[in-house]
């Protein structure tokens, strides 16, 4: 795609949705998110009244109902943060690798973060929240580079299917290592499940507040890369022709993406498929301009994860299903649909 | 065209050499299995000399050894061999049929299907024995059909099938994880059995159905090995050589899925055994010739050795699936690298 022919009309239309339409969608998505957040605080295994909700959100824990609401607040906030982080991270990954299958879960990057946190706890005694986040980001970064190198070997460079395959293989490999590292340590292995399947049930503000700065930096870096991602989408040659320093731009965007998914994994465990589904949906709503796509993905990703959390509490009353399980159920069919649309050489 | 007599001789010599190598590899593998099997019966918390072990197997009553060897170590070692043979055989059958080493049942979700079904059957419906095996076999056949159907778009492309299988596997792992979380108490041992495969707490009750499945389905698969080799040349060539392609394919899929289902219902999806056995066997016996029997032996040896290592080599008792998983992981990565370098089917 290095021809200088202007794209057909429909392509331009998708690329540039009218600002009016985008603002309208922005309002809709924000309203849905607010509604979901309210639902997340209101719905759970114990029925509560509006008065309880107001009191509980305000911090009162006088009655059991108010206390229940009080404990639902942090997990709602965590779902919002993690959903936004994973969705933006996925959108940036898809942009950097020009790969519709980009997702921190599918590419094994969340598992890398998970393994790094576990190894840090078991072997190096890293117990502090900030230490764990740094470990997670380092693990995510190393895994991202590894998977990209593995996936881009051979003919054709980093094709979507090769990358996805390298990611899935790495993910399976890392899952084995997670158990191997955690099992000798009774104190960690009791929580093995939360390091294999992500969830927001154990949320508390104490851990979250340490992650917030990392998430903010990651988001800002990603947003600053939005313009270069738009250029990169045209192909490396065109991007270079437009004055983009391709390697630098790619590295910067990747760092933002890795920070987001690393920090998210450190607080919520590995959650897959959010970063895959959301950017695809948002492209339908607002087009492919990353300056709009990224904030939209953040809002929609928050909405998806909050909805998944609420659903997990409704479906399995009185117990609950981890969001990581719900997102796998929503996301895997989507993943399969995208794979089916990819052209591959027949056997 | 008249072949020079010396070249005929050379071909014959090469063929003899290959047959010899194959024979040597198979006998070495078989004796290695026998030795590790014997060792795993003798060692443990208490060491029992070979004489005691033999007497227990013959049915004599030996104080202490009768229980430890007869009820703890023997079923465990037998199950290890049965599961290893089943997974090795089924894995290489899939890899040969789909002509791709990544298309093994434990990567494309068939083992996960059996595992999820077994976990659901045991934990949610309190099934046991035949019920669990039936559910596992139904689920894994269903998964195999589903993957094939989803991957079929005027022909099945290897990479597409594998990636679709990986997606399905992710969903099935979620089912397993959810089922385990519903078990009331999160039991780590039980969880590890269904997530990575484990022989801890192996009993005759688990070993016997898997054993009979192997006795019935194993020979069926081995009998199809010649046709399977012909099918590696492509369906049309195989048909021209007189192979009934569709019938062979059905036979292979059903027997291989059956072996996976029974093995998984007994010991969980022991990670990467089905995937590793075939390529290792191929390395050992070289090109040409059927891989089915050598791969089955490699599978059995892998599971036996990994279980022995997992139990005694480290301070912690690792379930067998963790050991095979950690051993298999680098190889999986290496295989991806090699396939990508070569261009392969990607």
Contacts of A342 in chain B (CB under 8 A): 160
Nearest Cβ partner for A165 among B163, B192, B341: B163
Q: Looking at residue B346, what is its pLDDT? A: 36
Spatial CB neighbours of A103, under 8 Å, sequence gap ≥ 6 = A90, A93, A94, A272, A273, A274, A275, A276, A331, A335
Rounded to the nearest angstrom, the minimum Cα separation between B129 and chain A is 27
Q: Does B177 touch chain A (CB under 8 A)?
A: yes
Domain ranges (residues) in chain B: 18-342
Contact state of A329 with B167 under an 8 Å Cβ cutoff: no
Q: Report whether B90 contacts B274 (CB < 8 A).
A: yes
Contact state of B159 with A155 under an 8 Å Cβ cutoff: no
Using pLDDT thresholds of 50, 70 and 90, give the confidence band for residue A2.
very low
Instruction: Express each pLDDT in A232-250 by its tens digit.
Output: 888 888 888 888 888 888 8
Nearest Cβ partner for B150 among A164, A336, A346: A336
Instruction: Express each pLDDT in B179-192 by its tens digit.
Output: 887 776 656 777 77
Contact state of B186 with A344 under an 8 Å Cβ cutoff: no
Give whole-number Cα distances, B248 to B61, B87, B225, B239, B293, in Å: 48, 19, 10, 11, 18
Nearest CA in chain A to B175: A325
Give whole-number Cα distances, B249 to B214, B238, B246, in Å: 19, 12, 5
User: For A44-51, which contacts have Cβ atoms below 8 Å and span 24 or more sequence positions?
Assistant: A44/A68, A44/A72, A44/A313, A45/A313, A45/A317, A45/A318, A45/A319, A45/A320
Q: Looking at residue B301, what is its pLDDT? A: 95
Check residue B124 and report its DSSP letter: I
Check residue B152 and report its DSSP letter: B
Cα gap A312→A30, rounded to integer Å? 22
- Distance of alpha carbon A184 from its chain centroid, rounded? 30
| Residue A12 clears pLDDT 60, i.e. is over it | no
Contacts of B159 in chain A (CB under 8 A): 161, 165, 344-345
Q: Looking at residue A345, what is its pLDDT? A: 45
Can you give the C-alpha Rg of chain B in angstroms?
21
Contact state of B340 with A168 under an 8 Å Cβ cutoff: no
Spatial CB neighbours of B247, under 8 Å, sequence gap ≥ 6 = none
Name the percent of chain B lying above pLDDT 90: 25
Q: Looking at residue A72, what is its pLDDT? A: 84
Contact state of A193 with B99 under an 8 Å Cβ cutoff: no
Structure tokens at B113: 């299907």
Rounded to the nearest angstrom, the minimum Cα separation between A243 and chain B is 32
Q: Does B336 touch chain A (CB under 8 A)?
A: yes
Q: Looking at residue B259, what is its pLDDT? A: 93
Q: Looking at residue A178, what is its pLDDT? A: 86
Contacts of B315 in chain A (CB under 8 A): 184
Cα gap A333→B221, rounded to integer Å? 33
Q: Looking at residue B101, what is its pLDDT? A: 83
Q: Report whether B256 contacts B221 (CB < 8 A).
A: yes
Residues within 8 A of B (CB atoms), A 162-221 only: 162, 164-166, 168-170, 172-177, 179-180, 183-184, 189-190, 192-193, 196-197
Nearest CA in chain A to B183: A319
Nearest Cβ partner for B332 among A155, A173, A273: A173
Q: Report whether B221 contacts B93 (CB < 8 A).
A: yes
The closest of A342, A29, A1 to A163, measured between CA atoms, is A342
Taken in order B96, B97, B100, B105, is the CA torsion positive or negative? negative
Q: Report whether A301 contacts B150 (CB < 8 A).
A: no
Range picked from A8-12, A157-161, B46-50 for highest mean pLDDT = B46-50
Q: What is the CATH number of domain A17-321?
A: 1.10.3470.10
Spatial CB neighbours of B178, under 8 Å, sequence gap ≥ 6 = A316, A321, A322, A325
Question: Mean pLDDT for chain B?
Answer: 85
The closest of B305, B293, B221, B208 to B257, measured between CA atoms, is B221
Strand partners, B156: B152
- Distance of alpha carbon A273 from its chain centroid, rounded? 8
SS (H, E, C) chain A: CCCCCCCCHHHHHHHCCCHHHHHHHHHHHHHHHHHHHHHHHHCCCCCCCHHHHHHHHCCCCCCHHHHHHHHHHHHHHHHHHHHHHHHHHHHHHHHHHCCCCCCCCCCCHHHHHHHHHHHHHHHHCCCCHHHHHHHHHHHHHHHHHHHHHHHHCCCCCCCHHHHHHHHHHHHHHHHHHHHHHHCCCHHHHCCHHHHHCCCCCCCCHHHHHHHHHHHHHHHHHHHHCHHHHHHHCCCHHHHHHCCCCHHHHHHHHHHHHHHHHHHHHHHHCCCCCHHHHHHHHHHHHHCCCHHHHHHHHHHHHHHHHHHHHHHHHHHCCCCCCCHHHHHHHHHHHHHHHHHHHCCCCCC
Homologous superfamily, domain B18-342: ABC transporter involved in vitamin B12 uptake, BtuC (1.10.3470.10)
Structure tokens at B172: 């099935």
Q: Report whether A132 contacts A266 (CB < 8 A).
A: yes
Q: Looking at residue B87, what is its pLDDT? A: 95
Q: Report whether A15 contacts A288 (CB < 8 A).
A: yes
Q: Report whether B258 contacts B105 (CB < 8 A).
A: no
- Distance of alpha carbon A232 from its chain centroid, rounded? 21
Other beta carbons less than 10 A from residue A82's beta carbon: 33
Give whole-number Cα distances, A248 to A144, A253, B66, B156, B267, in Å: 16, 9, 69, 40, 50
Cα gap B77→B84, rounded to integer Å? 10
Other beta carbons less than 10 A from residue B268's beta carbon: 29
Contact state of A339 with B318 under an 8 Å Cβ cutoff: no
Cα atoms in the Cβ-side hemisphere of radius 13 Å centred on A335: 34
Spatial CB neighbours of A50, under 8 Å, sequence gap ≥ 6 = none
Q: Report whether B94 contacts B256 (CB < 8 A).
A: yes
Cα gap B276→B271, rounded to integer Å? 9
Contact state of A176 with B325 under an 8 Å Cβ cutoff: yes
Q: Is the pLDDT higher at A113 or at A195? A: A113
Q: Report whether A178 contacts A192 (CB < 8 A).
A: yes
Using pLDDT thresholds of 50, 70 and 90, give the confidence band for residue A137.
very high
Nearest Cβ partner for A161 among B159, B328, B343: B159
Domain ranges (residues) in chain A: 17-321
Q: Does B126 touch chain A (CB under 8 A)?
A: no
Q: Does B233 touch chain A (CB under 8 A)?
A: no
Contacts of A177 in chain B (CB under 8 A): 325-326, 329
Cα gap A225→A229, rounded to integer Å? 6
Structure tokens at A258: 């890795």
| Residue B3 clears pLDDT 80, i.e. is over it | no
Q: Report whether A165 contacts A150 (CB < 8 A).
A: no
Using pLDDT thresholds of 50, 70 and 90, give the confidence band for residue B217.
very high
Torsion of CA B266, A191, A303, A311, to 10 degrees: 50
pTM equals: 0.84
Taken in order B20, B21, B25, B28, is the CA torsion positive or negative? positive
Contacts of B326 in chain A (CB under 8 A): 176-177, 180
Cα gap B241→B236, rounded to integer Å? 9
Rounded to the nearest angstrom, the minimum Cα separation between B17 and chain A is 33
Between CA B189 and CA B116, with CA B321 as vertex, the angle to 5 degrees is: 70
Total CB pairs under 8 A between chain A and B:
157
Report the complex ipTM: 0.80
Q: Is the pLDDT higher at B169 or at A126? A: B169
Cα gap B196→B202, rounded to integer Å? 15
Q: Does B158 touch chain A (CB under 8 A)?
A: yes
Strand partners, B152: B156
């Amino acid at each position: 795609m290095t021809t200088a022919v202007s794209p057909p009309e429909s392509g331009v239309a998708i690329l540039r949705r009218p600002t009016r339409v985008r603002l309208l969608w922005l309002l809709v998505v924000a309203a849905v998110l607010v509604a979901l957040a309210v639902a997340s605080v209101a719905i759970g295994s114990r029925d509560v009244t509006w008065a309880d909700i107001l009191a509980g959100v305000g911090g009162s824990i006088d009655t059991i109902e108010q206390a229940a609401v009080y404990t639902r607040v942090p997990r709602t906030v965590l779902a919002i943060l993690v959903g936004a982080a994973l969705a933006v991270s996925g959108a940036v990954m898809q942009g950097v690798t020009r790969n519709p299958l980009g997702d921190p879960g599918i590419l094994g990057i969340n598992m890398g973060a998970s393994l790094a946190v576990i190894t840090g706890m078991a072997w190096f005694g890293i117990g502090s929240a900030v230490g764990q986040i740094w470990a997670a980001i380092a693990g995510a970064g190393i895994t991202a580079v590894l998977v990209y190198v593995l996936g881009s070997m051979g003919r054709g460079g980093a094709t979507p299917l090769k990358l996805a395959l390298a990611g899935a293989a790495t993910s399976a490999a890392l899952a084995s290592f997670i158990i191997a590292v955690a099992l000798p340590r009774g104190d960690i292995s009791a929580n093995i499940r939360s390091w294999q399947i992500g969830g927001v049930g154990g949320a508390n503000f104490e851990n979250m507040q340490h992650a917030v700065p990392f998430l903010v930096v990651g988001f800002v870096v990603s947003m600053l890369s939005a313009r270069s991602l738009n250029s990169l989408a045209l192909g490396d040659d065109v991007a270079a022709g437009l004055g983009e320093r391709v390697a630098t731009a790619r590295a910067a965007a990747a760092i933002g993406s890795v920070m987001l998914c690393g920090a998210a994994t450190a607080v919520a465990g590995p959650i897959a498929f959010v970063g895959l589904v959301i950017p695809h949906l948002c492209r339908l709503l607002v087009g492919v301009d990353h300056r709009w796509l990224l904030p939209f993905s953040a809002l929609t990703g928050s909405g998806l994860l909050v909805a998944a959390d609420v659903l997990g509490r409704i479906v399995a009353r009185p117990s609950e299903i981890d969001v990581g399980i719900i997102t796998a159920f929503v996301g895997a069919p989507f993943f399969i649909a995208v794979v089916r649309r990819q052209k591959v050489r027949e056997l | 065209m008249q072949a020079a007599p010396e070249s005929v001789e050379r071909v014959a010599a090469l063929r003899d050499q290959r047959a010899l190598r194959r024979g040597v590899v198979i006998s070495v593998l078989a004796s290695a299995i026998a030795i590790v099997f014997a060792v795993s019966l003798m060692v443990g918390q208490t060491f029992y000399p070979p004489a005691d072990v033999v007497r227990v197997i013959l049915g004599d009553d030996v104080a202490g050894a009768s229980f430890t060897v007869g009820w703890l170590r023997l079923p465990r070692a037998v199950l290890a061999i049965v599961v290893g043979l089943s997974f090795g055989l089924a894995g290489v059958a899939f890899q040969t049929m789909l002509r791709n080493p990544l298309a093994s049942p434990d990567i494309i979700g068939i083992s996960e299907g059996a595992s999820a079904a077994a976990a659901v059957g045991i934990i949610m419906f309190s099934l046991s024995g035949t019920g669990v095996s039936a559910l596992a076999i139904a689920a894994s056949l269903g998964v195999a059909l589903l993957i094939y159907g989803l991957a079929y778009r005027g022909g099945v492309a290897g990479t597409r099938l594998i990636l679709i299988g990986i997606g399905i596997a992710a969903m099935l792992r979620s089912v397993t994880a959810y089922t385990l979380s519903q078990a009331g108490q999160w039991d780590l041992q039980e969880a590890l059995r269904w997530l990575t495969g484990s022989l801890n707490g192996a009993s005759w009750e688990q070993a016997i159905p898997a054993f009979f499945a192997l006795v019935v389905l194993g020979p069926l698969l081995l009998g199809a090995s010649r046709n399977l080799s012909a099918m590696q040349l492509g369906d049309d060539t195989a048909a021209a050589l007189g192979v009934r392609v569709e019938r062979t394919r059905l036979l292979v899929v059903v027997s291989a899925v059956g072996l996976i289902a029974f093995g998984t219902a007994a010991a969980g999806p022991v990670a990467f055994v089905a995937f590793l056995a075939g390529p290792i066997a191929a390395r050992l016996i070289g090109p040409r010739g059927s891989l089915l029997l050598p791969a089955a032996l490699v599978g059995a040896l892998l599971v036996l050795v990994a279980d022995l290592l997992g139990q005694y080599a480290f301070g912690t008792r690792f379930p067998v699936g963790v050991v095979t998983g950690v051993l298999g992981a680098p190889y999986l990565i290496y295989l991806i690298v090699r396939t990508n370098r070569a261009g392969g089917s990607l």
